[in-house]
A and B are shown apart, each in its own frame.
Chain A
């Protein structure tokens, strides 16, 4: 049954979500078109840089949109009138929750992959366009000898290999954070439909979100204190230059918290739900 639930969850969320992915891919494609031009003048350079800068902003916007789309889709299928269809299915709440969790995490991973892809494409586009612009400029000024000084490498932009190395490290961190973030979202979404919180979900959702974030931070910190290690809470630096023990403890605590939230959410879904 889990496979069937997953199939349907993918179809339902995918329907709302694929257009977001499509826009990102189209944006990346247009950005790449600029690099096909052989002679790059000042105008093309400015437009290309601007476009690729926008592409990076779009990558960030994509993540925010992805979370919203996924949560709206989950809320619709569980707690609106469509909940009458979902809750009537001959499946356990554990399967129902697992299906939502897995499909949401995979959709988020997909969106993160696309966002990272957009940033990679934008950086590579900028590198190529700067190199071409430098070539054109130096050719016009008969100063080909100075090409090295004006190249993208000389300007400190990362190479493809450097970027891929960064991505590999980032992937592990992202997956762990994503699992916890998704469980917090599912927990908050569920508890906002449980009495007495369901009366004003608009009020309770932000309170619970902030509460969850603070609680997670404190639990990770306390675990670190208990284990006498300085747990690094700087998300951006997790894994970079810190000891493997610290990173592993943080990851285990986060996965443990996710598991606790999963079972609490499952309990609420099986014992505390009253569909309107």
Chain B
């Protein structure tokens, strides 16, 4: 069986600035992968390439053995680092929209989550606070029975209790054998959750290994991160 994500010689440049160069990477199924790296290292670019938001790259990208396209998007649930919902829609319309397009979207589950998240089905996106919009985006993503979840900094800028709530939602709603690729700077909070750690920087994959292997070396992820990316003041 194919790995869920395969990258071969993948390069992405913005004009003359290369952010990812000749990346070779295979991510196995059923794992939770932490994508880490300093700001501007290409984490978001990599996620956008995997989900089809960026398609002007070179090299080979395969999701579930297929190139990025209609099929890969049907098995990938993407949570970007911004709100993308039409402002005029209400929460229920957003749920219906997703159910309309994604066969793996579990509508009853989404409606239950709306209630659990204390979101009014009739409330319009434009009247929701930033936190409420983030909750709605999270529930729309996690209501899918996807093979791959690509989550771009779902914990960015939220308080510790909300952080716990978000992580619980992700972990409890994830189907068995699905893969989660999650980018974060909250390494200390997240290392207990990750199966694999993926660190990128200087246009390359600097580290990709199982957390169990890394722990066997007697180092925490946080310590490794400091080693791989020493702070230059």
Contact = CB atoms under 8 A, between A and B. Distances in A.
Given A4-B100, A89-B101, A90-B101, A81 B83 contact: yes
A12 B54 contact: no
Nearest to A16: B88
A224 interface: no
A270 B54 CA distance: 9
A273 B12 CA distance: 12
B85 to A, nearest CB: 7
B48 A275 contact: yes
Interface string B58-78: 000000000001110110101
B84 A85 contact: yes
Contacts of B74: 90
Greatest chain B CB density within 10 A among A91, A196, A271, A275 is at: A275
A271 B74 CA distance: 19
Interface residues of B, number: 27
Contacts of A271: 55-56
Contacts of A12: 86
A73 B56 CA distance: 24
Interface string B17-55: 000000000000000000000000000000010011111
B53 A83 contact: yes
B14 interface: yes
Contact of A272 (B51, B56, B86): B56
Interface residues of A, number: 27
A84 B78 CA distance: 9
Contacts of B71: 90
B53 A84 contact: yes
A12 B71 CA distance: 25
B97 interface: yes
A88 interface: yes
A57 B102 CA distance: 45
A266 B45 CA distance: 22
A87 interface: yes
B91 to A, nearest CB: 15
A272 B78 CA distance: 20
A8 B53 contact: no
A237 interface: no
B82 interface: yes
A15 interface: yes
A275 B86 contact: no
B100 A272 contact: no
Interface in A74-95: 81-85, 87-92, 95
Interface string A232-276: 000000000000000000000000000000000000001111110
Nearest to B68: A270
A227 interface: no
Contacts of B70: 1, 90-92, 95
B87 to A, nearest CB: 9
Contacts of A272: 55-56
Nearest to B93: A11
B97 A8 contact: yes
Interface in B97-114: 97, 100-102
B73 A270 contact: no
Nearest to B97: A8
B101 A1 contact: yes
A195 B53 contact: no
B56 A274 contact: yes
Given A84-B80, A275-B48, A90 B15 contact: no
A195 B56 contact: yes
Contacts of B80: 84
Given A8-B100, A92-B70, A87 B56 contact: no
A92 B69 contact: yes
A82 B84 contact: yes
A96 B213 CA distance: 44
B95 to A, nearest CB: 13
Contacts of B82: 81, 84
A196 B82 CA distance: 24
A258 B186 CA distance: 51
12 contacts: A84-B80, A87-B51, A88-B51, A88-B52, A88-B73, A92-B70, A95-B70, A195-B56, A271-B56, A273-B54, A273-B56, A275-B53
Top 7 closest pairs, chain A to chain B, by CB: A90-B74, A84-B84, A90-B73, A275-B53, A85-B84, A274-B54, A84-B80
